Structure 1
Amino acid sequence: MQHLFEFFKSKNECQLLVVNDDKQAIVGRDIVAFSGLQPFVLADFRANFGDDLLSFSEELQHITKVLGEYYNYKKQNKVLIAPLRTISFALPKEQCFDSFTIEFAQTLDIETFKSKLFNWGYYFVDIVTSEGEVSVRGDIIDICPLGNSFGYRISLFDDEVESIRQFDIEDQKSNKEEIESFTINPAFLALNEEHFEKINDEIQKVQTDAFIQDIHSLGFWYLDDLGEYLPQRLNTYITYEALDELEEAYIFDAKRVHKEKFLTLPKVPKSRNYEVVSPANIQEFITFHEGKKLTIISASEAKIKAHDFDLANKNIKYVLEDYIINLVSDDEVILSLNKEHKKRRKKRVKLVLDELQVGDYVVHEEYGIGQFKGIEPVVVMGAKRDFVIVMYANEDKLLLPVENIDVIDRYVADGSSYAMLDKLGKGSFAKLKSKVKERLFAIANDIIQLAAARELVNGIQMDTNSETLKQFALSAGFEYTKDQNRSVKEIFDDLSSGRVMDRLLSGDVGFGKTEVAMNAILACFVNGYQSLFICPTTLLATQHFHSMQKRFAPLGLKMAKLDGKSSTKEKNEIKKGLEQGVYDLVVGTHSLLGVKTNNLALVIIDEEHKFGVKQKEKLKALREDVHIFSMSATPIPRTLNLALSKLKGMSSLLTPPSERLGVRTYVKEYSEQLIKEIILREKRRGGQLFYVHNNIASIEAKKADLESILPNIKIEIIHSQIKPADAEKIIDAFSEGQFDILLATSIVESGLHLPQANTIVIDGADRFGIADLHQLRGRVGRGNKEGFCYFVVEDKKRITQDAIKRLVALESNSYLGSGTALAHQDLEIRGGGNIIGEAQSGHIKQIGYGLYLKMLEDALASLSGENKTTHKTVDIKLAISAYISSDYITQDRVRLELYRRLSKAVNKEEVYTIEEEMEDRFGKPDIPTKQFIELILIKIYALQKEIKTISSYEMNITFTKEDDTKQTIKSPSKDDDDIIATTLQFLRK
């Protein structure tokens, strides 16, 4: 930092600054801007020539956006800041950065417009959920240009732009205010037809392992005369740190500026006058440097006042910016009050498109598990309606009217189990349901009784306001996420309330659950109490013990580890020490279940679902007023969360820590050369690999294959048929780096935290569901090293288009239409199953997680004295054509999603909201669609009036109530609109 500061302070003429990585680029940006120049920062692009670029789509989009801004900025005071690896490649020339404006009332030739966007690298999708995507739906166009966190919705009247509004990517709703115009920049490059074709032809000739050979995957490598090496044209300086990076950057150096070029560039000289400082107490530091010229940098005036500075003080120069510069020299002090820059997190799409594929299993509340065969139009009594087709055992079919689609749900069990089709006919499934219901009432009863018994006991009350606790959070070495701060506050409120705490914290591995738990342990220590931390495996116990030792060492807290690896002598000593109060904290496994303690206040259970009810009871029996804090790595569904939160405290961590790197994902076709390269690349950086092969029968053969590719490699196998004790030994050995590859079934998808393993290969990736792929990918990239995930398929010609789309979209990190949100939904449902414990998996397999949890919520609610209304349906047999027409909405999956949302609506306000949204997104509904919306209103009113059937014949409309009484009314004619109006008029009375 000090070198760059002095360099720019002395007004050196520099147009391009070469740094080593993202972090240094940010430092450079702050200093360049502070010096009154305009910085443009390129992303750190760490691909090698020929790599599949879908995995680098975020960096490439960023480079496109910034270069576009750089070339469009016409003043001379600009500096381009680029990491070494980025600037070593030829970057697109100025002519590749055109843009055009869409204005109100202009005429738009839709075909020319689409063709231009295609050449400019836009993805055409069903729903626009991220930058660089466009969706054309008749006379409505949605587009999200690069650098935007919202989209633009254009409504056309014929070929004239009738309105332009911004819309929210999360929920797809547009703002009411119209805008005059907006600018569209390229999503890849502003290529004309000729250049696009030329690059495309070049790509098709190449021998590559890219899964799909197109401009998005490989275009950047074949710019030819459209590209240039900027260090050869701009006045360039390089930092010493970037020179240190040279060797590493040039391992694969095809198609780059030659390394020597960088060695000959002028260096940013070392500073003679400035030093970097990081004062703990700013006011004290300033007093120490009195008499020097003082500059204070802050993003806001409020921060300046909070640090007791007087804005009226003329001796201090205030700079209101978000720069982070902390330097001191003989005559000057520059201090920043700002915290580290946070990366902008991507918005998560709330609107989940149901990826219900034909052939997927679904659960019907009354008939059980069937197979979804699609939505088909059926003509009944001369009128057209859409029906969901579900296939049951013996090829029996169920036709379900789409307005009642809410009675089926996707079948989710654990990844390894296959669904068995039920027989159509209520008998068998009803019996199974009542068996599960009995079992669930027993579980719900246990949960409620436990909660009630603990309510009657006074908890150990603690003071959670001590300075030590405040300092502990500050000494973490990183800033807590918003969720972590909230969870710590919730725990402290519990501990100081005088009630017994029973709280569950859910959050993905690496999201900082242990850090939250340490705050609770410290609160107990400060108040003179002991804590126990219990994990299901020795590996986890060892991991937690080491990370806690680091944090607690300076505070004088005495801790020990007790697990299966401890010798009998150690066990006896630790147990004795616990009883006598020598230890403040013991971390361990099941070995802790029967210990005696001196002054225990807190028991923390990690991976709570891995412990049985009896084991948890044993822990609670250690002392009746002991606080219980459980942690789980899977999210809990919102509804179950509500049901349980009346009995338990619930906290969740949903935001990853800022320093966590993403996982670079590739989709590849299997080849021995590829596997060899993947393994050697990870070995070169001193890491280990997971290799997922989800077939126990052929896993030994797979091991032999891998050993024949690389004879010196060390491989161990793990799957569900290996004894738990042996599996634990293997994982321990892997954690200690004793072998290179852990070859496993999808058993590795949860509960392991092995920061040394940062590459995962998933064999036969097309045979996994989105949730499983998402979860498996999360095994790597947990530390501060970048993770690599390879989805490998046997033969790309033989897999379905949908599977290709799913995999390729996961590769560019966002699923076209929110698959990650869907994966979260799946994981949430499983997380709910986890809370109840693994002993229930038999029942879950029989009826699926979704229905199982719904039934558990009902059981909890009814035992807590709440009235849960039973789910009723109305059989509507009106001779009207009512369906969401494919002319109005062409994409089946979007129609399916709207059918689902409308069928779940419980009042007319919800229906009108969805109708308004449909009009906003797709234009005015056509007649069959409008009539379907009215059909949903008929269903809602009928449910409120306890009507079970509505049917029509000619002009007669008959209503049958729950008690089988009937009433018939007459419509003025048998036209659809008359029958609907008459029915609604009767029901609204």
Structure 2
Amino acid sequence: KAAENGKQVAMLVPTTVLAQQHFSTFKERLAPFPMNVEMLSRFRSEKEQKEIVEEIRDGRVDILIGTHRLLSADVQFKDLGLLIIDEEQRFGVVHKEKLKQLRTQVDVLTLTATPIPRTLYMSLSGARDMSTIDTPPEDRLPIKTYVAEYDERLVRDAILRELDRGGQVFFVHNRVIGIGVIAEQLRKLVPEANLAIGHGQMPEEELEAVMYNFAEGKYDVLICTTIIESGIDIPNANTLIVNHADKFGMAQLYQLRGRVGRSAARAYAYLLYEKHNPLSSDAHDRLQAIAEASELGAGFQIAMRDMELRGAGEILGARQSGHIAAVGFDLYCRLLSQAIEQQRAQRSREDAEPARLWQSPLIDLPIQAQIPEEYVADSALRLKLYRRLADVDNIEQVEELEKELRERFGAPPPALQNMFYLLRLKVAATRARLEAIAVEDGRIVIKFGRDDPALQSQLTVQFNGRVRAARDRAWLAGPQVDEQWRAHLLEVVSGIRIANEAE
């Protein structure tokens, strides 16, 4: 659509092999349309690259597919309208921001099966829009995944089992130094197999020939680095063996596993680690998460687990993961929401109003409030519902959402009822311009954020001694051990709101 409207489209991919694959697919599918599709990568000669760069500058290229070569200083777009980043987890912040700076008004579409923690959190927090594809292609089967110590008998059996059914095998060893030694060991271990080696430091013509011949079925086993990680589509390869799997990141392992099982045949993945070398706790967690997330479309689940293990990173900085424990998750969300709201406000008017979410008081009460997994089983759906709950800012929205969940999933369990209570309390406290509601020394304390003698007197009289007030706060009198304190607290906060509105 962007190209039809006269805008140029740039597609950034991480590897030359994937760039070639996309280029061939785009050329084939867009052949009936008057669109010029080009590719920039090291598979192009220097002369061809210069000609393509000139065509880009003149606007004669409609769709450009390329690797990091797109980020070079000599690549100048005439009218870039859309940037597509494929396999986004393979790029750093600097790479992506550099291309966005080519124009201030560029639509960005990010494609990934396993978003990095920063991108995932930006989507969940509202800084980015997100859509998910939950339906796998027809006839696809989940990949059987095994985690085990490296054992030559296991490797031989896995390779022969695949060859016996006419398939092919990926053997991943992510060190160019030593990959030849591994190849020799496998040749001795499985002399029946025809082996080839592929890695990113090979001359481009040789690598292209190896990948082409493997895709054509001329080799049984491809011993390779993670160069196959990004988007390689060889339906006949249905067994993956990863050597030293504990050295890989979670998203890397998921992407590698996605290279098999791309047809109707059952695929197998073996994640192997060194014998007599105990796994670190982080490596154990990564491998366990991959093995457990074996169902189709588990990338979102993997990404969520990755964010839990690594943290959400810096939204405005360069780190794409990292812990936020120093400020706490609640304050982190508030600060992020404030920044987003203020930026949006500044676009529409010069004098931006304070962010709405920043005005929401801090509510810290001994109440378990959540959407239980047994009530909404799908983790992605639960996250979307949490996001909708966080966006509620009036009683009508609370009641509508409660009604919707009741109709979709049945009567809400106690933990969810607690959440709706807290939402009602939050709405009332926000309108009352309160600073916080929390438990201190066993008492529920309501903090005004200001010293208000008139409000103190009014609360004491209105609630007939059930509320005591002094300086910038009030607290509920008497024991708060039964359920009545909840209704009482909501009544008091509503009374403060009415008093403020009457001023």
**Counterpart Cα distance in 1 of 2:139 and 2:339:** 40
Mind listing any 5+ residue stretches in structure 1 that lack a counterpart? 1-490, 496-519, 719-723
- The amino acid across from 2:222 in the alignment is I
Distance in 2 (CA, whole Å) between partners of 1:603 and 1:931 is 44
Hey, what's the Cα distance between the residues in 1 that align with 2:290 and 2:485?
Answer: 47
Corresponding residue number in structure 1 for 2:474: 967
Find the counterpart in structure 2 of residue 551 from structure 1.
29
Report the equivalent of 1:948.
436
1:949 and 1:961 in contact (8 A); partners too: no
Counterpart in 1 of 2:241?
A: 761
Contact 1:539/1:728 (CA < 8 Å) preserved in 2? Answer: no
Written as runs of structure 1 = structure 2, the 5 A alignment for 1:488-887 is: 491=1, 520=3, 523=4, 535-553=13-31, 561-572=39-50, 587-589=65-67, 594=74, 605-607=84-86, 610=91, 611-618=95-102, 620=103, 630=109, 632-634=111-113, 637=120, 640=123, 654=133, 658-659=137-138, 661-667=140-146, 669=148, 671-683=151-163, 688-692=168-172, 706-711=186-191, 714=195, 716=197, 732=208, 734-737=210-213, 740-744=221-225, 749-750=229-230, 752-753=232-233, 757-762=237-242, 774-782=254-262, 784=263, 786=265, 788-792=267-271, 810-811=293-294, 813=295, 822-823=301-302, 825=304, 840-841=318-319, 844-845=321-322, 847=324, 858-865=338-345, 867-870=355-358, 872-876=361-365
Aligned equivalents of 2:208, 2:333: Cα separation in 1: 35
> 1:534, 1:587 within 8 Å by CA — same for their partners in 2?
yes
CA distance, structure 2, for counterparts of residue 901 and residue 629 of structure 1: 25
| Contact 1:665–1:810 under 8 Å retained in 2 | no
2:438–2:445: 8 Å Cα contact kept in structure 1?
yes
CA contact (8 A) 2:436 2:447 kept: yes
1:596-621 per-position Cα deviation (integer Å, ceiling 9, x unaligned): 89x87767554385434334545x4x
SS in 2 for 1:840: coil
Alpha-carbon offset, residue 663 of structure 1: 4.2
Is the contact made by 2:238 and 2:261 (CA closer than 8 Å) also made in structure 1? yes
Q: TM-score, normalised by structure 1?
A: 0.33
TM-fit CA distance, 1:546: 1.9
Alpha-carbon shift at residue 808 of structure 1 (Å): 7.0
In structure 2, what is the Cα distance between the partners aligned to 1:844 and 1:752?
Answer: 26
CA distance 1:749–1:840, change in 2 (3 Å): farther
TM-score of the superposed pair, with normalisation by structure 2: 0.57
- In the alignment, structure 2 segments of 5+ residues that lack a partner are 347-354, 451-470, 496-503
Q: Greater Rg, structure 1 or structure 2?
A: 1
Which amino acid in 1 is paired with 2:16? Answer: T
Hey, which of these two has a bigger chunk of strand by percent?
1
Q: 1:728 to 1:921 in 2, by over 3 A?
A: farther
Q: Is contact 1:771–1:822 with CA below 8 Å preserved after alignment? A: no
Deviation digits for residues 622-677 of structure 1 (CA, Å, limit 9, x no counterpart): xx99x8675533566596488556xxxx6856265745734442436555344223
Provide, for residues 751-807 of structure 1, a one-character-per-residue CA deviation record: whole Å limited to 9, x for no partner.
55555644323568799898665544323334x564613244679xx9999999967
Residues 853, 708 of structure 1: alpha-carbon distance in 2 compared, 3 angstrom cutoff: farther
Whole-angstrom CA distance in 2 between matches of 1:603 and 1:980: 52
Q: 1:865, CA displacement in angstroms?
A: 2.0
Instruction: Give the corresponding residue for 2:498.
Output: none
Residues 65-104 of structure 1 aligned to structure 2 (within 5 Å): none
Q: Letter of the aligned partner of 1:983 in structure 2?
A: L
**Once superposed, what is the RMSD of the aligned Cα atoms?**
6.2
Cα pair distance change 1:803/1:969, threshold 3 Å: closer
Q: Could you give the per-residue CA deviations for residues 457-483 of structure 1, whole angstroms, max 9, x where no partner exists?
A: xxxxxxxxxxxxxxxxxxxxxxxxxxx
Distance 1:641 1:695, change over 3 A: same
Identify the residue that residue 986 of structure 1 maps to in structure 2. 492
Q: What whole-Å deviation, never above 9, does each CA across 1:390-424 have from its counterpart, x for those lacking one?
A: xxxxxxxxxxxxxxxxxxxxxxxxxxxxxxxxxxx
Equivalenced residue count is 427
Output the CA distance in 1 between the equivalents of 2:14 and 2:190. Answer: 35
Secondary structure class of the residue paired with 1:823: helix
Deviation digits for residues 415-443 of structure 1 (CA, Å, limit 9, x no counterpart) = xxxxxxxxxxxxxxxxxxxxxxxxxxxxx
Amino acid at match of 2:322: K
Is contact 1:883–1:931 with CA below 8 Å preserved after alignment? yes
Q: What is the one-letter code of the residue matched to 2:97?
A: V
Q: CA deviation at 1:983?
A: 3.3
SS of the residue aligned with 2:322? helix
Which SS does the other structure have where 1:845 is aligned? coil
Distance, in Å, in 2 between the alignment partners of 1:596 and 1:935 is 53
Q: State the shift of 1:563 in Å.
A: 3.2
The CA distance in 2 between the partners of 1:616 and 1:641, in whole Å, is 22
Compute the displacement of 1:568 (Å): 3.7
Distance 2:38 2:412 in 1: 66
Alpha-carbon distance, 1:726 to partner: 5.6
Cα distance change of structure 1 residues 846 and 596 upon mapping to structure 2, 3 Å threshold: closer
Residues of 2 paired with 1:534 and 1:544: CA distance? 10
Question: Per-residue CA shift, 1:555-609, capped at 9, x if unaligned?
Answer: 6766655432333444455567778898776655555653689x87767554385
- Deviation at 1:742? 3.8
* TM-superposed deviation, 1:538: 2.7
Partner-residue secondary structure (3-state), 2:321: helix
For residues 931 and 557 of structure 1, the distance between their equivalents in structure 2, rounded to whole angstroms, comes to 57
In 2: Cα distance, 1:865 partner to 1:559 partner: 39
> How many angstroms apart in 1 are the aligned matches of 2:250 and 2:228?
16
SS at match of 2:267: strand
Q: Distance in 2 between matches of 1:986 and 1:874?
A: 15
